[in-house]
Chain A
């Protein structure tokens, strides 16, 4: 049978027994799916490469024979930046446009990889992980596209609440007397900065919650095999409000783990960068590239681990859907083989009357 096309049983049974450290278990499970996170990493890396490659040609042609070798390895001086402002600006504008396309593709890739991860985790795939990954990605793609649209709507709503009229009325006007929203009228810069901190902090927190909601919604859709993103989304909000700690804590720890590793990688990156100079070779550059790829790998793993966490939490907190008994309507005599009558997806054993 074609493994890719096989609709294996998704494990929807409730599993109340969670490991003590859900997020660690999720990371372990995800790390074990090496081909999957390699694939997920490669997809993103290819997109990034598409954006970066044109710049190699640009730098090669801009520097050729015009600058002393090594002079611009450490930094691009003001004179270079200015003299090349026109072509660099054109490149940047083009990169920005290309970046828009890449950003859209990235969101679609994100939806795809989410489906892939969920297929792998919910199915408890053994072997053929990559094929099941691609199967899941394509299977759930359009459902997760609807979730993406809902995510964008919710982010817009969040942004409006925190930066739009409600904020201006409730916080700026009522709390600080700034009817025109002019922070310059405040008595001190520190007060103004605190307000901005609060606003940005709320936006960041809200964004994190919305993205977590998105993860649970996708997990519910995959786990229950349902189609309605809206209904799954409402149920996910219910889950988050009903069990905020249990649902969000593992995701928070995952975020901490991701941020921690990125900070360490950033520190190493800074040290490597500081060694660059006129006599540097490509070795340092490739070392930085390798470091960056390792950081991306870690981020792919933690992204996958998000779905492992969501799958575990969903199984433990959410009752499986009651599914109709495919054998309820069937033909066949007692004691003998029985055949269902075209229920469910209609498997090859269905009998048409």
Chain B
């Protein structure tokens, strides 16, 4: 048991530290929970001929809860890929990433589990706590002969064998490429009186486990020598015969001894590894000093937000890149994107405490891309991408960002997936807009991207259109159809003439998230277990985009610096722990110094929406007409007569040079001097109420701001603002800083006196060009 004998004192030291840290933070804070600790030592041998894995692991479990347990529950994730009756495949309709699964199945089977010398295999049962599906074998229950008492430590020895699945859902093999995740029997999380939190593996869910350390030895064929990446670091490589054993540790042994900025020793809660003889291994260093000079404003804002007391300096990190040969020229782009994540996430939420992070470019067709594991993540790119397309930058930032949300703050991804996915989505959009700007849309022709998009679609799409444009001509009395006009890269390129007919289109990650959220804004509330959303679309919207939009709108409520303080406080308080929704709400309010529980209740635990609209009626005050009375006792006199009595006749000096029939100058100049009168009507549609700023802009360049408070919005659904004076209103804008991304329709948030005379012509011209070339091509079919 290499290293294990020396570990108990480290474990005890960690325990003491965590207890002391817990005491230091006690006193009115969130529920004090010291998470359990689970250490693994794993030895695995892989037969790449049969794609079999034989494993042996030692699990050391420390029960830091207040309740004993008489059982263990372990995840056997690969059994989700054993057949099409598993909960996972039923949920995905038998498909994985769009492929109907016919072969390449995978499974895991625990053949022995010992506590000391006692074999417990006879007590094995499969559990189905979520859906009662007896065919699902992803949760294994083991009955213990002796309960594990609170504060006690237990050790187990597990032997298992597994069939590595074809890589279609993040893990498995594809040719020589191996991406091995969720591969060992992994303990669920014991939550004391709540029992074991060990869910089945659903198609929509990810993972949840306790923090600890991993020491892993992987025995592979010799061709994988030096081409293995893992969580943590590779310590050394030991050839033997025609095979090689790679020894890994997570966290790295040095990292375990180095307390992070918050005074904790780093731990991890999972271990994944990958191997491919074709990997090209590169290293890209992250240095805080190199980044801080580029983003001085961010540094200044963070220092100000955190009161100048926080140490915002971040440690250097080695970004290890495992690239496929055909993407090798993109290694620097991956490295820079990973560094962007390390810098911004670290600046805002606390430093990344490990010495290395590994970025994997997965094999083509492996479906292993876009996934996170502690200190290791998979990106994913393609040929012929450019930085303007934000690929692979976006996925790299997002997955590296998960090192913070999920890696360091270990939320339960089954029951509160939004705590990592949504937080990460919010943050990655902020990073992308600061570091990489807008994304340029492209249109693919035979997978070669061309910048620009068509302003309107080509003919076709409906049954009739397809028939008329010869795309699909059903033959009567048959099920056969002619398809003379097909989508094909080069033909479409000639048809479209993109250099003449297309338009540039740019996307902002933040606005894209709003669009994603509003695609399905109100079927489920955000705070829902991942497997309880109505469908996968609702899971995607609520876990990712809606949470990001709600967080972004929270900035508009509390202000940016309080927001940063709230998020930082939460991330530090719950580092290496397992928060739930209420923990976040309480911690954020504490850190931001403002009580916004109402916001969290309405936005995270409700399905309400809001749309503020604005309408303006403005005109000059009308000329006075009618009869007027000076005082109660006076007579009513017509305005002309009254003016004659009040005002000595003023006449323009006669222009002796003007012709006799020239029109006389108008005696009434008051129209041009009449004051402007405007009514601004702001209406709230929907249930949500947030304090709203309304900005009025005048023709003398002055501006005025009004606020419509939450309390006033509770009283009425509308606000009327009357303004009058010499100044003319030229614009009225709701939420001028554009922070309320939850507004379901921003098109009615502004009013401008002037209208755009150029834009309609411009866009009609583009659409005309589009039709011209498409129709010319179509005419060529006829002659």
> CB within 8 A of A190: which of B383, B473, B778?
B383
Asked whether any CB of chain B lies closer than 8 Å to the CB of A303, the reply is yes
Q: Is the CB of B506 within 8 A of A196?
A: no
Q: Is the CB of B772 within 8 A of A75?
A: no
Q: How large is the interface on A (under 10, 10 to 19, 20 to 34, 35 or more residues)?
A: 35 or more
Q: Do A156 and B483 contact each other (CB < 8 Å), given the known contacts A52-B767, A56-B761, A69-B755?
A: yes
Q: Is the CB of B782 within 8 A of A106?
A: yes
B 739-783 contacts with A by CB, 8 A: 745-748, 750-765, 767-769, 771-776, 778-783
> CB within 8 A of A67: which of B486, B488, B750?
B750
Contacts of B500 in A (CB 8 A): 262, 265-266, 269, 292, 295
Asked whether any CB of chain B lies closer than 8 Å to the CB of A155, the reply is yes
User: Of the 9-residue stretches A89-97, A124-132, A242-250, A324-332, which lies at the interface with chain B?
Assistant: A89-97
Q: Is the CB of A47 within 8 A of B775?
A: yes
User: Of the 9-residue stretches A3-11, A26-34, A181-189, A333-341, which lies at the interface with chain B?
Assistant: A181-189
Q: Is the CB of B765 within 8 A of A187?
A: no
Q: Do A269 and B499 contact each other (CB < 8 Å), given the known contacts A144-B782, A187-B175?
A: yes
Asked whether any CB of chain A lies closer than 8 Å to the CB of B326, the reply is yes
Mark contacts of B452-493 with chain A using CB atoms, 8 A cut-off: 1 yes-contact digit, 0 otherwise.
000011111110111111100100000000111110111100
Q: Is the CB of B779 within 8 A of A64?
A: no
Contacts of A211 in B (CB 8 A): 780-781
Mark contacts of B722-742 with chain A using CB atoms, 8 A cut-off: 1 yes-contact digit, 0 otherwise.
000000000100000000000
Instruction: Give the Cβ gap from B101 to chain A, nearest Cβ, in Å.
Output: 12
Asked whether any CB of chain A lies closer than 8 Å to the CB of B505, the reply is yes
Q: Do A115 and B783 contact each other (CB < 8 Å), given the known contacts A66-B750, A189-B326, A285-B758?
A: yes
Mark contacts of B426-447 with chain A using CB atoms, 8 A cut-off: 1 yes-contact digit, 0 otherwise.
0000000000000000000011
Asked whether any CB of chain B lies closer than 8 Å to the CB of A14, the reply is no
Q: Do A107 and B470 contact each other (CB < 8 Å), given the known contacts A69-B756, A263-B499?
A: yes
Contacts of A187 in B (CB 8 A): 175, 364
Known: A101-B468, A110-B778, A280-B762. 11 other contacts (CB 8 A): A65-B752, A73-B756, A73-B762, A92-B456, A97-B464, A186-B364, A186-B365, A193-B447, A196-B489, A207-B488, A211-B781
Contacts of A85 in B (CB 8 A): 515
Asked whether any CB of chain A lies closer than 8 Å to the CB of B355, the reply is no
Contacts of A97 in B (CB 8 A): 462, 464-465
Q: Is the CB of B491 within 8 A of A203?
A: yes
Q: Is the CB of A203 within 8 A of B760?
A: no
Q: Do A96 and B459 contact each other (CB < 8 Å), given the known contacts A73-B758, A103-B469, A193-B383?
A: yes
Q: Do A55 and B456 contact each other (CB < 8 Å), given the known contacts A68-B752, A102-B775, A292-B769?
A: yes
Contacts of A110 in B (CB 8 A): 778-783
User: Of the 9-residue stretches A145-153, A226-234, A313-321, which lies at the interface with chain B?
Assistant: A145-153
**Top 9 A-B residue pairs of the complex, sorted by shortest distance between their CB atoms:** A114-B783, A266-B499, A184-B365, A110-B782, A99-B459, A100-B465, A110-B779, A78-B511, A107-B782
Q: Is the CB of B765 within 8 A of A292?
A: yes
Mark contacts of A65-85 with chain B using CB atoms, 8 A cut-off: 1 yes-contact digit, 0 otherwise.
111111111111111111111
> CB within 8 A of B781: which of A53, A152, A273?
A152
Q: Is the CB of B468 within 8 A of A100?
A: yes
Asked whether any CB of chain A lies closer than 8 Å to the CB of B507, the reply is yes
B 622-644 contacts with A by CB, 8 A: none
A96, A99, A187, most chain B CB atoms within 10 A: A99
Q: How large is the interface on B (under 10, 10 to 19, 20 to 34, 35 or more residues)?
A: 35 or more
Q: Do A72 and B756 contact each other (CB < 8 Å), given the known contacts A110-B783, A152-B781?
A: yes
A 103-159 contacts with B by CB, 8 A: 103-104, 106-115, 144-145, 147-148, 151-153, 155-156, 159
Asked whether any CB of chain A lies closer than 8 Å to the CB of B508, the reply is yes
Instruction: Determine chain A's interface SS by DSSP, over half rule.
Output: helix
Q: Which residue of A lies closest to B775 (CB)?
A: A106
Instruction: Give the Cβ gap from B169 to chain A, nearest Cβ, in Å.
Output: 13
Provide the bound-state CA to CA distance between A218 and B780, in Å.
Answer: 12
B 492-541 contacts with A by CB, 8 A: 494, 497, 499-501, 503-508, 511-512, 514-515, 518
Q: Which residue of A lies closest to B751 (CB)?
A: A65
Contacts of A78 in B (CB 8 A): 506-508, 511-512, 514-515
Contacts of A156 in B (CB 8 A): 482-484
Provide the bound-state CA to CA distance between A97 and B466, in Å.
Answer: 9
Asked whether any CB of chain A lies closer than 8 Å to the CB of B382, the reply is yes
B 303-317 contacts with A by CB, 8 A: none
Q: Do A72 and B759 contact each other (CB < 8 Å), given the known contacts A78-B515, A100-B464, A152-B470?
A: yes
Q: Do A55 and B764 contact each other (CB < 8 Å), given the known contacts A77-B506, A99-B465?
A: yes
Q: Do A55 and B763 contact each other (CB < 8 Å), given the known contacts A47-B775, A75-B503?
A: yes
Q: Do A114 and B488 contact each other (CB < 8 Å), given the known contacts A73-B759, A103-B469?
A: no
Q: Is the CB of B747 within 8 A of A200?
A: no
Asked whether any CB of chain B lies closer than 8 Å to the CB of A63, the reply is yes
Asked whether any CB of chain B lies closer than 8 Å to the CB of A59, the reply is yes
A 278-303 contacts with B by CB, 8 A: 280-282, 285-286, 288-289, 292, 295-296, 299, 303
Contacts of A182 in B (CB 8 A): 99, 365
Instruction: Give the Cβ gap from A351 to chain B, nearest Cβ, in Å.
Output: 39
Instruction: Give the Cβ gap from A232 to chain B, nearest Cβ, in Å.
Output: 14
Instruction: Give the Cβ gap from A243 to chain B, nearest Cβ, in Å.
Output: 22
Contacts of A79 in B (CB 8 A): 511, 514, 746-747
Q: Which residue of A lies closest to B455 (CB)?
A: A55
A and B contact pairs by CB, cutoff 8 A, 22 listed: A49-B768, A51-B771, A52-B765, A59-B763, A66-B747, A68-B750, A69-B759, A76-B763, A99-B456, A99-B459, A103-B459, A108-B782, A152-B470, A182-B99, A184-B367, A186-B365, A196-B447, A197-B489, A214-B783, A281-B758, A288-B769, A303-B779
Provide the bound-state CA to CA distance between A339 and B682, in Å.
Answer: 92
Q: Which residue of A lies closest to B456 (CB)?
A: A95
Asked whether any CB of chain A lies closer than 8 Å to the CB of B230, the reply is no
Q: Do A100 and B491 contact each other (CB < 8 Å), given the known contacts A112-B783, A152-B470?
A: no
Contacts of A197 in B (CB 8 A): 446, 489
Provide the bound-state CA to CA distance between A53 and B776, in Å.
Answer: 18
Provide the bound-state CA to CA distance between A144 and B460, in Å.
Answer: 24
Q: Do A218 and B783 contact each other (CB < 8 Å), given the known contacts A59-B759, A82-B518, A96-B462?
A: yes
Q: Which residue of A lies closest to B485 (CB)?
A: A155
Contacts of B488 in A (CB 8 A): 163, 199-200, 203-204, 207
Q: Which residue of A lies closest to B513 (CB)?
A: A78
Instruction: Give the Cβ gap from A284 to chain B, nearest Cβ, in Å.
Output: 8
Q: Do A270 and B782 contact each other (CB < 8 Å), given the known contacts A95-B456, A204-B491?
A: no
Asked whether any CB of chain B lies closer than 8 Å to the CB of A13, the reply is no
Q: Do A64 and B755 contact each other (CB < 8 Å), given the known contacts A151-B781, A187-B175?
A: yes
Q: Is the CB of A93 within 8 A of B486?
A: no
Asked whether any CB of chain B lies closer than 8 Å to the CB of A267, the reply is yes
Instruction: Give the Cβ gap from A67 to chain B, nearest Cβ, in Å.
Output: 6
Q: Is the CB of A53 within 8 A of B760?
A: no
Contacts of B511 in A (CB 8 A): 77-79, 82
Q: Which residue of B lies closest to A62 (CB)?
A: B747
> CB within 8 A of A188: which of B326, B503, B755, B765?
B326
Asked whether any CB of chain B lies closer than 8 Å to the CB of A276, the reply is yes
Q: Is the CB of B778 within 8 A of A107?
A: yes
Asked whether any CB of chain B lies closer than 8 Å to the CB of A172, the reply is no
Contacts of B466 in A (CB 8 A): 100
Provide the bound-state CA to CA distance between A125 and B763, in Å.
Answer: 41
A 168-227 contacts with B by CB, 8 A: 182-190, 192-193, 196-197, 199-201, 203-204, 207, 211, 214-215, 218
Q: Is the CB of B446 within 8 A of A196?
A: yes
Asked whether any CB of chain B lies closer than 8 Å to the CB of A257, the reply is no
Instruction: Give the Cβ gap from A98 to chain B, nearest Cβ, in Å.
Output: 8
Instruction: Give the Cβ gap from A159 to chain B, nearest Cβ, in Å.
Output: 5
Q: Is the CB of B772 within 8 A of A292?
A: yes
Instruction: Give the Cβ gap from A334 to chain B, nearest Cβ, in Å.
Output: 48
Q: Is the CB of B748 within 8 A of A66?
A: yes
